[in-house]
Structure 1
Amino acid sequence: MPITLPQNLMVSVSGVRGRVGNPLTPELMAQIAAAFGTFMITEGAGGPIYVGRDSRVSGPMFSRAVISGLQSVGARVVDLGMVPTPTLMLAVKQAEASGGIVITASHNPADWNALKLVTAEGVFLAKEQSEHFHQFLNNEDLQRVSWDLIEPVIEDREACQRHLSGILALPEVDVEAIKRRGIRVALDCVNGVGGPAMAELLSELGCTVEAIGMNPDGRFPRDPEPTAANLTGLCTLVRDTGSEVGFAVDPDADRLSLVDETGRALGEDLTLALASSVVLVRNPGPVVTNLSTSQVLDDVADSFSVPLTRAPVGEINVAQQMMIEEAVVGGEGNGGVILPALHHTRDAPLAAALILQALIDVGGPLSFAAARWPSYAIVKEKIGFPREALPQAYEILESDLDGATVDHADGLRLSWRDRSTWLHLRPSGTEPVVRLIAEAPDESRAKALIDHVLGLLEGAG
């Protein structure tokens, strides 16, 4: 029979997400994994499917369920164990596997988990692939194999080391120069999967590491999203230890947020801007980001006279556009840096190496590197709002906020380049909320725009 997905399950292009127990159960995860395995086999993919997870308490349970589901339809499975999301994505690409499944809810709280589906190219499913898979999921009976066709599971515990070796081999990262600098780094991995990988990378780069949140037990000591408001502990650690830079990663280590040597949280958008400047000074070329990323990236691209293209929010949307544009660097303003020279995936360890290289390039502290670029204020809100009322809300905003450049590629984006101001309203793909983001030269103007829009939305909802 077709699989019935619970109504409270969040279904996106890349997979499914929800709270553990309801709607996410081992039975449901096994069913979806079996469907994905059958889908890949039907598509003619002959390689194994890689499985990995983050550090969440529910991770081992769901990993066993996913692997069992894949085995039940005759898929070959390579189990990477607990690894960063970019580690699995790179492993799939390097091994020419059929695809992969990542068990992680990224920045969501500990009572959430998710299943993300990966293609043979080491990127998440695109819209067309996802639609095909969901059609298959809803309409096809799953053919289970007999006992003698069940494939044994192969364990691979070297994927993370291969990932880090790939980063250290990049021409953009001068390992010896970073080692000579002997940088003291404060690190907060929120007890996620990134702790061991980040510690190993920084050790290989000769850094002295002062760390919190390094026990990968999935019991997050704070809100796991690495936004500035959640990094007070890291800011204090930077000041108390005299660190030159503070790094915070999310639970699956695909996003990196920065704190400068004064203990000031710089926000996630500057991660991509600084990392991009390191790449562009060595290899000028197109840049791609999403519609919610700070305009500081426009300033970086302009300074190197290279084009910048914006895609809808979502890693796969940015990755696909990067392939089209043959971009040399890109990512998202949430701290996700993508370097095609390695792979088309957001990667926090990669971002950390590029930020350390930025310190070498400028010959000064992180605040000095940040001061090279204009400063903007981003204000973000998320509100409960009926999705069916969004079209009406978009019309109201367009009518009220005139003189803007309008973009409907992903919700509604209004921009006033002459005022260095923009606004983006869109439904979240990871939470049952609507996200509202505004950027302006100072916080008061950005907040005033947000407050004005919230007032307009009250009448629309």
Structure 2
Amino acid sequence: MTLIKSISGIRGTIGGKPGNNLTPIDAVKFAASYGIWLKEYSKKDDLRVVIGRDARLSGEMIQNLVVSTLVGLGIDVIDLDLSTTPTVEIAVPLEKADGGIILTASHNPKQWNALKLLNEKGEFLNAEQGAKILAIAEKEDFDFSEVDDLGEIIKNDSYIDIHIDEVLNLSLVDAEVVKKAKFKVVVDGVNSTGGIAIPKLLKEFGVEVVELYCDPTGHFPHNPEPLKEHLTDICDLVVKENADFGIVVDPDVDRLAFISNDGEMFGEEYTLVACADYVLGKTKGNTVSNLSSSRALRDITQKHGGTYEAAAVGEVNVVTKMKANNAIIGGEGNGGIIYPESHYGRDSLVGTALFLMLMAERGGTVAELRASYPSYFMSKKKIELTPGLDVDGILESMASNYANEELSTIDGVKIDFAENWVHLRKSNTEPIIRIYTEAKSQEEADGLANKIIGEIKEIAGI
């Protein structure tokens, strides 16, 4: 069982002993730390925080603990109850709130939960802010409010509908165009809040919806990470229903994957590629993804006359780079779409709308669309090193060995070759180097990874 404290929040497994797992005591401690930090950061007395959760089994318990802790600090809470990560993100500025907390462990299995922390813009905290909250938690120097100064709870269960309205009002979205296409779509909501939000959104576009695992019970019917090996049910159902395509989201609805009409994976890496293709076809501009995302986004961006930039891995890093480079769309290769006209956060509702517009205007099948994009294949491996080895030194040696290639060292070592690339990143918690490669065939991607692993072993003397 595990408790992971990081700058982006606290994540852990339910049950067990405090400090080792996400217990009620840990939930209270870190909610209090966030509240204390928010008071210092905002320099205000009358604070408001938006809270929402996915449907996982521990959600209501963690929600009650977090809400009560903030109220005990004299902070008003706008309680969205069952919601999505992007819904909470848009609710924070709309409510003129001072921050937000999303109670979700994203794609992790049911035994996990987490507190994801937002600032007043509805965006994830930066490293410095997160570090301050961890320091407050370490000291446990809490000062709670007296009885006359307790916060209030304001319940608001309308925000998924408000979120959908926000999506429908985006300048590049026209529901009437999509209605004419008369799409039929299968939705796998993994029995969480995507099962509420995505079918509602699709129906606004006149889409015939076939629901699969859309009852928000929190009993995930399969591993909730939207990878091919977990999605056999929807792949089969898309073919059986003769649907135009399938939509899969993770429990908190910030990762989006499509199933082609032939029951094959469209590919999470290509979710962002397709959405960017639509947006860039309408508006000239730049894009950003992280260093471990597919080169296909770069290709599509350059095809439309834009500039592509790569950020360090992590949503907050992608958002920072997007702002610096005036990117009009960006995200991560795990199916995360960030569209600044809406907000700076991964949003499966926005991604779904952009994809519907692309398909409605372009015509043809989803399988044909996928075949029209540059075809790349990824390999994701890791190498375990002996404790005590200088991992940073090993990465520096690899960078030196490939100094004549296009290099990035902002997050590990990324080596861009003419036809492929490799990204080496160390784990922060164990002596492991992760090796991601991409090439124009799976065999080539695996071969490059194995070659690099061999070179690392030689440097490490193992």
TM-score tier by shorter-chain length is over 0.9
Aligned residue for 2:4? 10
Q: Which residue of 2 aligns with 1:26?
A: 24
Aligned to 1:439: 438
Q: Which residue identity lines up with residue 267 of structure 2 in the other structure?
A: G
Query: What's the offset of the Cα at 1:446?
Result: 0.5
Query: Letter of the aligned partner of 2:282 in structure 1?
Result: R
Deviations 1:27-59 (A, max 9, x none): 111111111112111221444111111111111
Counterpart of 1:394 in structure 2: which amino acid?
L
Q: Is the 8 A contact 1:12 1:429 kept in 2?
A: no
Q: Distance in 2 between matches of 1:413 and 1:388?
A: 24
Give the partner amino acid of 1:14.
S
How far did residue 386 of structure 1 move?
6.9
Partner of residue 3, structure 1: none
Aligned residues: 453
For residues 432 and 185 of structure 1, the distance between their equivalents in structure 2, rounded to whole angstroms, comes to 44
Residue of structure 2 in register with 1:259 after alignment: 259
Alignment of 1:412-451 (within 5 A): 412-416=413-417, 418-419=418-419, 421-427=420-426, 435-451=434-450
CA contact (8 A) 1:41 1:75 kept: no
Superposed CA offset, 1:66-106 (max 9, x none)? 11111111111111101010000110122221001111111
Q: Which moved more, 1:422-431 or 1:237-246?
A: 422-431
Determine the structure 1 residue equivalent to 2:330: 330
**What amino acid maps onto 2:406 in structure 1?**
T
Distance in 1, matches of 2:439 and 2:5, equals: 33
How far apart, CA to CA, are the structure 2 residues paired with 1:183 and 1:367?
Answer: 15
Question: Partner of 1:153 in structure 2?
Answer: 153
Structure 2: how far apart are the matches of 1:185 and 1:431? 42
* Residue type at the aligned position of 2:54: D
Task: Tell me how far apart the structure 1 counterparts of residues 429 and 156 of structure 2 sit (CA, whole Å).
Answer: 29
Q: Aligned in 2, Cα 1:166/1:228: closer, same or farther, shift over 3 Å? A: same
Give the alignment's TM-score, normalised by structure 1: 0.93
Letter of the 2:360 partner, please give it: I
State the SS of the aligned residue for 2:266.
strand
- TM-score between the two structures when normalised by the length of structure 2: 0.93
Quote the sequence identity (%).
Answer: 36
2 CA distance for matches of 1:221 and 1:386?
Answer: 38
8 Å contact 1:10–1:430 — kept in the other structure?
no
Relative distance call for 1:382 and 1:81 in structure 2 (3 A) is farther
Report the alpha carbon displacement of residue 247 of structure 1 after superposing the two structures with TM: 1.0
CA–CA distance in structure 1, aligned partners of residues 118 and 343 of structure 2? 13
* 1:453 corresponding residue in structure 2: 452
RMSD of Structure 2 on Structure 1 (CA) = 2.2
- 1:348 is aligned to 2:342: no
User: CA offsets per residue over residues 159-217 of structure 1, 9 Å max, x none?
Assistant: 11111110011121121010111101111121122110001001111111122221212
The structure-2 alpha-carbon separation of the partners of 1:427 and 1:206, relative to structure 1 and needing over 3 Å to count, comes to farther
CA contact (8 A) 2:383 2:453 kept: no
8 A contact 1:24–1:113 mirrored in 2: yes
Q: Is the 8 A contact 1:17 1:430 kept in 2?
A: no
Select between 434-443 and 176-185 the one with higher mean Cα deviation.
434-443
User: Structure 1 residues 25 and 383 mapped into 2: Cα distance closer, same or farther (>3 Å)?
Assistant: farther
C-alpha contact (below 8 Å) 2:29/2:140 kept by paired residues: no
Q: Is the 8 A contact 2:185 2:210 kept in 1?
A: yes
Do the aligned partners of residues 396 and 219 (structure 1) sit closer, same or farther apart at CA in structure 2, a change above 3 Å counting? farther
Q: Distance in 1 between matches of 2:335 and 2:124?
A: 18
How far apart are residue 65 of structure 1 and its match? 0.8
Q: How does 1:35-46 map to 2 (within 5 A)?
A: 35-43=33-41, 44-45=43-44, 46=46
Structure 1, unmatched stretches of 5+, are 1-6
Amino acid across the alignment from 2:38: M
| In structure 1, distance between residues paired with 2:129 and 2:56 | 28
How far apart, CA to CA, are the structure 2 residues paired with 1:184 and 1:35? 47
Query: What is the Cα deviation at residue 17 of structure 1?
Result: 1.1
Kindly indicate whether the alpha-carbon contact (under 8 Å) linking 2:99 and 2:120 is maintained by their aligned counterparts in 1: yes
